[in-house]
């Protein structure tokens, strides 16, 4: 699916996705008031922020194409630096 | 002209060793940042308890003024360099100094709300102890304000969050331990945006700290998230302070309050013992009165720490204090190193709208229209100050050149690519999210959004960061040594150093509000950034301006107009997501 079409998803569809994703992670928004502008956070505003995020950020990132040979992440030796002969290491 | 700092009088033809930024291959830094990106996923969640490993550096006394040349009459208004000079000469005792700051805190902090905790008894005790010891260096007996996300053994460390409301660490953050070992005295812990997000608020979003330059009007932002640290120094409640920066949290409050803020290169100072926000983007650093003070602070804070792999294998920390000591050539100040200043497109054009401004939404909203008017006036004032600054630097021998922004700059530094940081804040706090999301108070939104970015999207974003870094190193720093910036976010994304220092004042909403300039440097370019700021400050006095505070007026502190219980407005949960840290 073209990432741009994510913006065509309805609020209800996105809310269902967000709530499902949070349930998979074991996170419960239900403890928040449903709609209370005086509360530090409520479900209405948290879902609105999450929908705005989903409509904007994943499509922007997925729409930026990179060659698979470009700037590959490298695992070593940073994780080993404390055990190596570098300044501050062993 | 301020000129109270000691000035190196060197022959104009003296040969200066090149700064570290031109001794390090830009490619090797690129590779190193790749390692950090990859390592982020595998790091421990929160630092495990244990003693921080450190070696206290012996700080250079370069640039300390002659005690007879100190112009300020009130110790609270002096720089660390000036205080150190008086303490070394026996003209000021650390205990007197602590008592003066504590008096000012007592008189003003109910209005300013810069501090979460004031460690008065401990500060008096430590200052008295310092008096009995021989002078150990420029931080000997210097009272500091420490941001409340730095672990301080035995002292509450709350990050203004419900999550850490009862947290009392049993060890010191490495950077605080090093400052302490260098002789600094803890005055207290400073207020911040909850978990280092917005301007300082309570965990539930009620604004707390005010800007020292507009103490009677809480609607003027103090800058966040190191708000209390900035206000404490600007108001003369502490000699200097520490902050952390993930998206402008040192440089923004410094700029808002007339301070010199230095965000060092990723890995220059340890993050061990600092509550994490974003593993690949958090940076500890000083909010200081001037460049020399920033150098004194960072010199103590910086260096390898086996407990933080990001700090290992880097070039040794150079003499930052010497770099921040202005150089005279005859009667003029000259730059310590030949320096090419890059000017990005649009830098000298006033902006008409803030980022993510929605004109349709603002059309029928008088408050939004007023905010727009204030923004435009400030933008015009900034451009005027920037132009004068660049001319002055040219007069000091800088080469000022236009530089192009790299390809895809707008995209790679955008709100969406900046959001790649969010999963990194969610991961270490997952158990708190699963336990009860209400613990996050007003800061919840970005922690939820961090759960919604998929693995491939996160990795694509991380690779995009590397691409941005590669392009900045090649396409920008191929043409200049430092580059002006209008937002801290791009250099925060790629871990390069930033400095801000005051370059003017703007009359707005009935107050004189500081205007700052922001410069980005190459990897390990702190020396050159400090040298630039120090040269500017040897020729100007913006860094010596002080806000008119109620306690310093004949009306006294009762004229504050607000107190600790007064309504200072609220920060909304969606603003925290939208405007970040």
CB atoms within 10 A of CB A5: 9
Contact B419 A73 (CB under 8 A): no
- Tens-place pLDDT, residues B494-551: 999 999 999 999 999 889 999 999 999 999 999 999 999 999 999 999 999 999 887 6
> In which order are the strands placed within the sheet that holds B332-334?
B8-9, B327-329, B332-334
Chains A and B form CB pairs within 8 A to the count of 164
Considering only alpha carbons, which residue of chain B is nearest residue A43?
Answer: B445
Q: Distance between CA atoms of B199 and B197, rounded to whole angstroms?
A: 7
Q: Does B10 have pLDDT greater than 50?
A: no
Q: How far apart, in Å, do the first and last CA atoms of chain B sit? A: 35
Q: Which residue has the higher pLDDT, B116 or B13?
A: B116
Q: Is B262 within 8 Å of B290 (Cβ atoms)?
A: no
B9 falls in which pLDDT band (50, 70, 90)?
very low
Nearest CA among B234, B157, B178 for reference residue B51? B178
Chain A partners within 8 Å of B203 (Cβ): 40
Q: Where are the alpha helices (DSSP H) in B270-325?
A: 291-301, 320-323
User: What is the per-residue pLDDT for B573?
Assistant: 86
Q: Is B581 within 8 Å of B197 (Cβ atoms)?
A: yes
Best residue of A73, A76, A89 to probe chain B, by most B CBs closer than 10 Å:
A73
List all residues 6 or more positions away from B420 whose beta carbon is below 8 Å from its beta carbon.
A61, B453, B457, B458, B461, B462, B464, B465
Residue B25 burial by Cβ neighbours in a 10 Å radius (0-12, 13-18, 19+): exposed
Q: Distance between CA atoms of B274 and B442, rounded to whole angstroms?
A: 21
Nearest CA among B138, B5, B131, B147 for reference residue B80? B138
Q: Distance between CA atoms of B117 and B403, rounded to whole angstroms?
A: 46
Task: List residues bridging with B263 in a β-sheet.
Answer: B498
Tokens of B557: 């502190």
B355 falls in which pLDDT band (50, 70, 90)?
confident
Q: Which of residues 201-220 of B touch A (CB under 8 A)?
A: 203-205
B249 catalytic residue (yes or no): yes
B147 catalytic residue (yes or no): yes
Contact B436 A31 (CB under 8 A): yes
> pTM for this structure?
0.92
**Which listed residue (B161, B249, B270, B445) is catalytic?**
B249
Considering only alpha carbons, which residue of chain A is nearest residue B308?
Answer: A82
Chain A partners within 8 Å of B417 (Cβ): 60-61, 64
- Tens-place pLDDT, residues B474-489: 999 999 999 999 999 9
Contact A66 B36 (CB under 8 A): no
Report CA torsion sign: B508, B509, B512, B514: negative
Average pLDDT value for chain B: 90
Q: Distance between CA atoms of B481 and B477, rounded to whole angstroms?
A: 6
Q: How many CA atoms lie within 13 A of B2 on its CB side?
A: 27
Write the ipTM. Answer: 0.90
Considering only alpha carbons, which residue of chain B is nearest residue A23?
Answer: B434
- Tens-place pLDDT, residues B89-118: 999 999 999 999 999 999 999 999 999 999
């Amino acid at each position: 699916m073209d990432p741009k079409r994510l913006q065509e998803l309805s609020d209800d569809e996105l809310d269902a996705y967000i709530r499902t994703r949070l349930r998979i992670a074991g996170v419960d928004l239900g403890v928040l008031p449903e709609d209370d502008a005086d509360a530090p956070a409520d479900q209405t505003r948290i879902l609105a922020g999450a929908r705005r995020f989903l409509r904007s950020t994943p499509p922007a990132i997925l729409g930026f194409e990179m060659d698979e040979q470009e700037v590959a992440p490298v695992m070593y030796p940073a994780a080993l630096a404390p055990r190596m002969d570098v300044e501050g290491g062993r | 002209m301020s000129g109270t700092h000691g000035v190196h009088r060197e022959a104009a033809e003296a040969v200066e060793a090149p700064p570290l930024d031109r001794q390090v291959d830009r490619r090797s830094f690129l590779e190193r940042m790749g390692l950090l990106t990859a390592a982020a996923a595998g790091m421990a969640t929160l630092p495990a308890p244990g003693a921080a490993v450190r070696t206290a550096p012996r700080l250079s006394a370069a640039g300390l003024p002659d005690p007879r040349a100190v112009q300020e009459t009130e110790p609270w208004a002096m720089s660390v360099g000036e205080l150190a000079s008086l303490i070394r000469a026996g003209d000021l005792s650390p205990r007197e100094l602590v008592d003066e700051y504590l008096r000012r805190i007592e008189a003003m902090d109910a209005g300013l709300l810069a501090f979460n905790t004031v460690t008065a008894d401990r500060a008096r005790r430590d200052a008295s102890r310092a008096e009995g010891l021989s002078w150990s260096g420029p931080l000997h007996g210097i009272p500091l304000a420490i941001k409340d996300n730095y672990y301080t053994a035995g002292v509450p460390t709350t990050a203004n969050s419900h999550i850490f409301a009862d947290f009392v660490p049993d060890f010191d953050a490495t950077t605080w331990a090093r400052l302490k070992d260098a002789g600094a005295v803890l005055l207290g812990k400073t207020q911040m945006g909850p978990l280092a997000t917005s301007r300082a608020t309570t965990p539930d979003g009620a604004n707390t700290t005010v800007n020292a330059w507009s103490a009677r009007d809480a609607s003027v932002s103090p800058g966040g998230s190191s708000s209390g640290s900035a206000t404490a120094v600007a108001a003369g409640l502490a000699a200097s302070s520490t902050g952390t920066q993930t998206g402008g949290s040192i440089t923004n409050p410094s700029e808002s309050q007339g301070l010199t803020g230095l965000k060092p290169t990723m890995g220059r100072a340890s993050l061990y013992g600092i509550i994490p926000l974003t593993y690949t983007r958090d940076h500890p650093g000083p909010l200081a009165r001037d460049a020399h003070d920033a150098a004194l602070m960072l010199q103590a804070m910086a260096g390898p720490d086996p407990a933080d792999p990001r700090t290992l294998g880097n070039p040794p920390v150079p003499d930052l204090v010497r770099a921040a000591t202005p150089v005279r050539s005859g009667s003029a100040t000259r730059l310590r190193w030949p320096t090419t200043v890059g000017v990005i497109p649009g830098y000298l054009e006033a902006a008409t709208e803030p980022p993510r401004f929605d004109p349709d939404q603002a059309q029928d909203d008088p408050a939004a229209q007023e905010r727009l008017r204030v923004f435009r006036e400030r933008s015009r004032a900034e451009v005027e100050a920037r132009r004068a600054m660049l001319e002055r630097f040219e007069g000091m021998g800088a080469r000022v050149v236009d530089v192009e922004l790299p390809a895809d700059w707008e995209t790679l530094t955008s709100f969406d690519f900046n959001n790649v940081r969010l999963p990194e804040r969610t991961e270490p706090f997952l158990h708190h999210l699963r336990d009860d999301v209400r613990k996050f108070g007003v800061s919840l939104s970005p922690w939820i959004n961090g759960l919604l970015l998929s693995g491939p999207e996160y990795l694509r974003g991380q690779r995009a960061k590397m691409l941005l870094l590669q392009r900045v190193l090649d396409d920008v720093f191929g043409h200049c040594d430092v580059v002006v910036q209008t937002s801290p976010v791009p250099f925060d994304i790629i871990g390069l150093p930033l400095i801000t220092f005051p370059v003017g004042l703007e009359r707005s909403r009935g107050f004189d509000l500081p205007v700052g300039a922001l410069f980005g440097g190459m990897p390990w370019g702190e020396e050159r950034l400090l040298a630039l700021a120090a040269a500017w400050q040897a020729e100007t006095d913006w860094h010596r301006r002080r806000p008119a505070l109620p306690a310093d007026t004949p009306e006294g502190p009762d004229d504050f107009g607000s107190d600790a219980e007064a309504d200072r407005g609220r920060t909304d949960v969606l603003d925290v997501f939208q405007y970040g840290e």
